[in-house]
Structure 1
Amino acid sequence: MAEKADADMRARELAALLADVAQRKEAAFRRLYERSSAKLFAVIRRITVSEAAAEEALQEAFLRIWDHADRFDPALASPMTWMTTIARHTAIDNIRRSSERIASTAVAIDELLADRLAAPEVVSDVLASRELRRCIDGMEADRRGMVLLAYCYGWSREELSRRFDRPVATVKTLLRRSLMSLKECLGGG
């Protein structure tokens, strides 16, 4: 019984804060963030692939909450349910955008690779070029992109880390393994 009363009190407080946020009261927004961010972060974190992605989605969710607080209707949903829905949709939207970026990046990397391999100064022997292309085509898209950007365009491990949202040590390991795989594919190992 006491838990129900506490939950009702929290819901009323959040509803009042959302009403104040709808009036653009920044202090209410800060308090709303303090009261709900941990729970919303937990929801988002279960959806996203990394903590950094979850933090970004949480920030975007709170921007949406700020922008749409005037649409909250306590007759339709509890404040936490309404905010959780926004948080979930934001996380899912970010994943979709990320997937689209990865897909378009893979296409762009493939186009760059084709241009680079077609350049006579890169590989003078057409047969070697075809063999290298075959081996590189056999790699996963992110590894292919890392190899191309690192060894054809001079990207640093740190730049690759940011681009592919991976730790620098992981990028180094993936590059090393990719080069060993290429060497083996080309018959050198």
Structure 2
Amino acid sequence: MSTTSPSRDIADLIARCALRDRAAFRLLYERTSAKLFGVTLRILKDRSEAEEAIQEVYVKIWQRADRYVAGNTSPISWLVAVARNHALDRLRARRPAADDIDVALEIPDSGPSPERAAVDSEERGRIDHCLGLLDPDRAEAVRGAYLDGYSYEELASRFAVPLNTMRTWLRRSLIKLKECLTT
């Protein structure tokens, strides 16, 4: 039976692991794996994932044993921190990674450029002004035919006029719009 404290024994085992002592690593695993498994299971909440994680935790302990500094923290606290951090890393990895903001900058904007939007706005204003100079029913017929996609027949029925009258309205209205827009 050892006369040193369990904490001191674990610190010694970690120090021996830093020297690549496989027997010390085996003993360290036997003495601490139940506690570290509990830590990973509590965080991950999935037994099979915790079992996989604990193996990875001990690989990290083997690789980083030389980083443990006795006296700074208790050896079990250091081991728990390694297990906890690894489990949290796995938990974060489950979440879908947010796209990098730089990726968003590479997505082309399908809308018009600011210059094009300004020109379009100005032209839309001119068209609205010229439509406002037409008789209201003629302006509505033009909007129906050229913006809403109604056929001449549908518009003639809607306005209760003969089809040829609707064609005349639209032709004359377009001539007036052209004159207005070119002045």
Partner of 2:47: 51
Where 2:20 maps in the other structure, the secondary structure is coil
Query: 2:93 is aligned with what amino acid?
Result: R
The whole-number CA distance in structure 2 between the counterparts of 1:59 and 1:91 is: 11
**Structure 1 consecutive aligned stretches of length 4 or more whose deviation exceeds 6 Å:** none
Partner of 2:111: none
* Structure 2 unmatched ranges of 5 or more: 100-183
User: TM-score, length-normalised on structure 2?
Assistant: 0.50
Where 1:74 maps in the other structure, the secondary structure is coil
- Where in structure 2 are the equivalents of 1:90-169 lying within 5 Å? 90-100=86-96
Query: 1:83 is aligned with what amino acid?
Result: L
Query: 1:81 is aligned with what amino acid?
Result: S
Aligned-pair identity in percent equals 43
Q: Pick one of 5, 22, 27 that aligns with 2:23.
A: 27
The whole-number CA distance in structure 1 between the counterparts of 2:68 and 2:59 is: 14
> Highest CA radius of gyration, 1 or 2?
2
**Aligned pair 1:76/2:72, yes or no?**
yes
Query: 1:15 is aligned with what amino acid?
Result: A
The whole-number CA distance in structure 1 between the counterparts of 2:16 and 2:93 is: 32
1:148-189 CA-partner distances (Å, limit 9, x unpaired): xxxxxxxxxxxxxxxxxxxxxxxxxxxxxxxxxxxxxxxxxx
1:34-78 CA-partner distances (Å, limit 9, x unpaired): 000000111111100310111111111111100000010112101
The whole-number CA distance in structure 2 between the counterparts of 1:99 and 1:15 is: 35
The whole-number CA distance in structure 1 between the counterparts of 2:49 and 2:34 is: 15
Aligned residues: CA RMSD: 2.1
Where 1:96 maps in the other structure, the secondary structure is helix
The whole-number CA distance in structure 1 between the counterparts of 2:96 and 2:24 is: 36
